[in-house]
Amino acid sequence: MELTKVSGRYSRQELFEPIGREGQEKLGRSTVVILGCGALGTVAADRLVRAGVGTVRIVDRDFVELDNLQRQSLFNEEHALKRLPKAVAAESVLKSVNSEVSIQADICDVAPANIEDVLRGCDAVVDATDNLETRFLLNDACLKLGIPWVHGAAVGSCGQVMTIFPGKTACYRCLVPESPSEPLQGCDVLGVLNMVTGVIADIQSAEAVKLLTGKLNPDSTVVFIDVWENEFERFAIDRVADCPACVRGEYTFLNSKAVSWSTSLCGRNAVQISPALEATLDMKGLAASLSRLGHAEDNGYLLVFNIDGYEITIFPTGRAIIKGTTDKTIARSLYSRYIGY
């Protein structure tokens, strides 16, 4: 390839021999789901949109807050002031970056009832979630649908990446067989550096591009990085011979029939409640009712209700984030009392 003959938006990327013009065209025909739009997801979304991935679907359940700005690179103070849903804020910024890419904002939380619909039709998934329950669920869904995905996680100054290709590599449950008996310390206890979330998301994005261009060599390894100690290591992960997920095909988390999906949110002192069946709430009527009990404000995307030291953020589908507790029992009680769905 002659360097002088390459020009345009993706010229520097096409000059990179492993991608070239053919690889760039493959990217343009591809669809990626970014599950979560926080510290990892904002960076990954930015990289993949700029790289020219044809369709980038951003799925996130949350809204922008001031303490997100330290590490969530697509957002600004105005987004936090308006409490915009992260997927909406990211979409608005990224459309100004690359109008050639179809950017889809999906304000929802994945659960057993909807994750297959959220992922169906995509070519790869970038894991930018913040809890084990969702990763176990994502692992089940991707194995069932045959979709490769790139796991990523970061806390403190450390992070890890693992690319999971159904049928070719170990899966997430080969790496983490079961939920730990005690909650893992997260960024609410250990903090997190934006440098490590940026590095992890960049590696995830590179892995996604390899997947989409057919250049990935599936190898069942985990990359571990500590940016504070300047450590970079790779570990081989054996595929567990009787893994319930990738060997036996027992999709325990996907087949869960729980009435609701409760998740403690990393660094938020909050619990999210997602009903098994989505509703269509009368947000104006609910705001009027709750205003008689405490302060309630509706910004068109969500309703924020404050009472007794708790902040309850309610979405039109019936999903809610209860801030002020990490106790799922308390969160469910508040949900039942004030939303009643």
Check pLDDT > 80 for residue 288: yes
Check pLDDT > 70 for residue 325: yes
Tell how far CA 316 is from the center of its chain.
Answer: 20
Place 7 in a pLDDT band, splitting at 50, 70 and 90.
low
Check pLDDT > 60 for residue 259: no
Check pLDDT > 50 for residue 189: yes
pLDDT of residue 6: 46
> Which domains are present in the chain?
9-236 (3.40.50.720), 260-338 (3.30.310.10)
DSSP 247: T
pLDDT of residue 5: 44
pLDDT average, residue stretch 230-249: 96
pLDDT of residue 330: 86
pTM over 0.75: yes
pLDDT average, residue stretch 53-76: 95
Token pair 């190898």 in the structure block, residue:
219
In whole angstroms, what is the distance from residue 149 CA to residue 164 CA? 5
Averaged pLDDT score across all residues of the chain: 90
pLDDT of residue 158: 97
Check pLDDT > 50 for residue 306: yes
Residues 25-43 have pLDDT tens digits of 999 999 999 999 999 999 9
| Nearest CA-CA partner of 333 in 317, 312, 315 | 312
Q: Which residue has the higher pLDDT, 103 or 319?
A: 103
Check pLDDT > 60 for residue 181: no
Place 2 in a pLDDT band, splitting at 50, 70 and 90.
very low
Going by C-beta distance under 8 Å and a sequence separation of 6 or more, which residues neighbour residue 103? 49, 55, 56, 58, 90, 91, 94, 95
Catalytic residue among 37, 158, 174, 187: 187
Check pLDDT > 80 for residue 121: yes
Residues 69-114 have pLDDT tens digits of 999 999 999 999 998 999 999 999 999 999 999 999 999 888 898 9
Kindly report which listed range (134-148, 202-216, 282-296) carries the lowest average pLDDT score. 282-296
Q: Where are the alpha helices (DSSP H) in the chain?
A: 11-14, 20-28, 39-51, 77-81, 86-95, 115-119, 132-145, 172-175, 187-190, 194-213, 283-291, 328-338
pLDDT of residue 282: 87
Kindly report which listed range (67-71, 137-141, 206-210, 261-265) carries the lowest average pLDDT score. 261-265
pLDDT of residue 341: 53
| Nearest CA-CA partner of 143 in 178, 119, 163, 171 | 171
Tell me what percent of the residues of the chain surpass a pLDDT of 70: 91
| Nearest CA-CA partner of 64 in 42, 31, 33 | 42
DSSP 117: H
pLDDT of residue 221: 96
Check pLDDT > 50 for residue 3: no
> What are the structure tokens assigned to 294, written together?
């405490």
Q: Torsions phi, psi of 19, nearest 5? A: -100, -65
In whole angstroms, what is the distance from residue 37 CA to residue 35 CA? 7
Told to judge if 243 belongs to the known catalytic residues of this protein, a careful annotator would answer no
Tell me what percent of the residues of the chain surpass a pLDDT of 90: 70
